[in-house]
């Protein structure tokens, strides 16, 4: 993908993402690769900002354009969104510069001259009337614009959490996500790493629950943080760092990370593993396998056996019996829509049943690999009951010899408030943990 300037790159990425069902992260990796670090940061900030504020931006553009937005060419619609975001939310970009640069990007994308003029006219109207319309939005705009989430999700969250809970979650998702680090204590102590940050005048604060977790209070490129190349840390939300702890206590034996992804939780498991233990990581996607290997090399993780395939193939192939199995299941990701704002616009309510069926299938496969007395942990980064407690209930209703155990016994005292009355580890966006997560601890009570 050619990238001549950050706005061209941003428009191209938005067009390609909109026409696919793929996560934005993959398009960012390709589309921003040829930009300078400064331009890459600007393009990414604009992209994520557009997606966080898309509902409001689209309502405002619809008020100013005589052409309905769905009838616009993808390049023109994304250029208008990008320009409007700069005018309304990026104070450091002068209005004239934002309009000129966006119109020039449209020209570089080889759109007809009259469409460049159309974009210029709409954006000038945004500059003149945008803030006036934003002030009127509270009384005139639909919920999708006010909350910057799709209507179906707004309705669900309002019914479950009430108006105050809905507002808290959506407002949290509008803000740039905080950056939480997990310190790689195999290479550096948390206190030594904080001294390194302070010496570079990088603001930070300790995590709320774990001594290995710390939050950066200002943004920036992860690769430019001190110690990145040396493997002193990896990026992982604090509650996600707690989920591997739910495997303990468990009987002696091997451990299995059944859905390893990029390896963040695998890295924690490797550090928790008893000296006589073994750890297998299962990951079917080639891109994630490659990134997993890169992360493992950077962090100095060894002793992990990677199986390059899905869990069904692993069970039918090498398989085995494990004392502890972690299923960090593929899910809708609706708990991390602040960190990944593209998710909210790609999901539909009907997707939840499809995710549930897949999650149940994976959990049932994983259960066949758990030995007598062994522990099975099921986790998602979703807020929705169809993917969380309903999956657990459906799994236990099969008559399998598993019992639910409270997560409280595996967590430090500081995290006990995150365990609900059913013993599940649960967090919502807008709370003290950052993202939304769910986890359940299950134990095999009878092998025979």
pLDDT in tens, 15-63: 999 988 889 988 998 899 889 888 998 999 999 999 999 999 999 999 9
The residues, any chain, with a CB within 8 Å of residue 97's CB and separated by 6 or more, are none
Q: Tell me the pairing of strands 304-307 and 322-328.
A: unpaired
| Rounded Cα gap, residues 202 and 398, in angstroms | 52
Domains contained in the chain, CATH given: 6-143 (1.10.940.10), 179-235 (3.30.70.1170), 238-444 (3.40.50.150)
| Rounded Cα gap, residues 319 and 377, in angstroms | 18
| Rounded Cα gap, residues 153 and 161, in angstroms | 12
Q: Tell me the pairing of strands 255-257 and 279-282.
A: parallel
Burial class (CB in 10 A: 0-12, 13-18, 19+), 194: middle
Q: How many CA atoms lie within 13 A of 127 on its CB side?
A: 17
* Segments of the chain with pLDDT less than 50: 1-3, 448
Contact 57, 14 (CB under 8 A): no
DSSP 7-65: HHHHHHHHHHHHTSSS-HHHHHHHHTTTS-HHHHHHHHHHHHHHHHTHHHHHHHHHHH-
| Rounded Cα gap, residues 55 and 137, in angstroms | 11
Beta bridge partners of 379: 328, 439
Give the distance from CA 413 to its chain's centroid. 27
Annotation marks residue 381 as catalytic:
yes
For all residues of the chain together, what is the average pLDDT? 93
**pLDDT given at position 4:** 62
Structural element, H or E, at residue 407: none
CA distances from 56 to 128, 143, 172, 401, 418 (A): 17, 9, 16, 50, 33
Instruction: Compute the chain's Rg from CA coordinates.
Output: 23
| Tokens encoding 129 | 């009337």
**pLDDT given at position 20:** 86
DSSP 339: T
Question: Which of 94, 97, 99 lies closest to 116 in space, CA to CA?
Answer: 99
Beta bridge partners of 179: 216
The residues, any chain, with a CB within 8 Å of residue 172's CB and separated by 6 or more, are 338, 429, 430
Per residue in 366-417, pLDDT tens?
999 999 999 999 999 999 999 999 999 999 998 879 999 999 999 999 999 9
| Tokens encoding 126 | 């945004």
**Catalytic-role residue among 15, 250, 259, 381:** 381
Burial class (CB in 10 A: 0-12, 13-18, 19+), 181: buried
């Amino acid at each position: 993908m050619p990238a001549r300037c950050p706005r061209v790159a941003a428009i191209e990425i938005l067009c390609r993402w909109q026409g696919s069902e793929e996560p934005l992260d993959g398009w960012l990796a390709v589309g921003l690769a040829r930009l300078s670090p400064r331009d890459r940061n600007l393009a990414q900030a604009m992209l994520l900002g557009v997606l966080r504020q898309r509902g409001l931006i689209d309502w405002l553009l619809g008020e100013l354009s005589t052409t309905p937005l769905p009838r616009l060419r993808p390049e023109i619609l994304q250029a208008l969104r990008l320009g409007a975001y700069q005018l309304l939310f990026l104070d450091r970009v002068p209005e004239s510069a934002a309009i000129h640069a966006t119109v020039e990007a449209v020209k570089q994308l080889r759109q007809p001259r009259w469409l460049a003029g159309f974009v210029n006219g709409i954006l000038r109207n945004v500059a003149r009337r945008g803030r006036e319309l934003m002030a009127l939005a509270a009384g005139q705009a639909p919920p999708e614009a006010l909350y910057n989430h799709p209507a179906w999700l707004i309705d669900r969250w309002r019914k479950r959490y009430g108006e105050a809970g809905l507002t808290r979650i959506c407002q949290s998702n509008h803000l740039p996500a905080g950056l939480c680090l997990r310190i790689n204590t195999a290479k550096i102590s948390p206190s030594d790493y904080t001294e390194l940050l302070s010496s570079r005048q990088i603001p930070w604060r300790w995590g709320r629950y774990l001594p290995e977790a710390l939050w950066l209070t200002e943004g920036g490129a992860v690769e430019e943080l001190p110690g990145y190349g040396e493997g002193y840390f990896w990026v992982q939300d604090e509650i996600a760092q707690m989920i591997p702890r739910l495997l303990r206590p468990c009987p002696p034996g091997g451990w299995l990370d059944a859905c390893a992804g990029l390896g963040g939780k695998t890295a924690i498991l490797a550090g928790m593993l008893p000296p006589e233990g073994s750890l297998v990581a299962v990951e079917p996607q080639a891109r994630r396998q490659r990134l997993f290997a890169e992360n493992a090399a950077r962090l100095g993780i060894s002793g992990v056996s990677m199986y390059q395939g899905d869990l069904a193939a692993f069970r039918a192939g090498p398989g085995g019996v494990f004392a502890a199995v972690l299923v960090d299941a593929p899910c809708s990701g609706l708990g991390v829509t602040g960190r990944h704002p593209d998710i909210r616009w790609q999901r539909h309510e009907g997707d939840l049943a499809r995710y549930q069926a897949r999650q149940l299938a994976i959990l049932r496969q994983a259960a066949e690999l758990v030995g007598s007395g062994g522990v099975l942990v099921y986790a998602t980064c979703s807020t929705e009951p169809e993917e969380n407690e309903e999956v657990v209930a459906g799994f236990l209703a099969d008559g399998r010899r598993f019992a639910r155990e409270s997560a409280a016994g595996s967590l430090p005292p500081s995290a006990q408030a995150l365990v609900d009355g059913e013993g599940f580890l649960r967090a919502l966006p807008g709370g003290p943990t950052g993202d939304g997560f769910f986890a359940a601890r299950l134990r095999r009570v009878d092998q025979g």
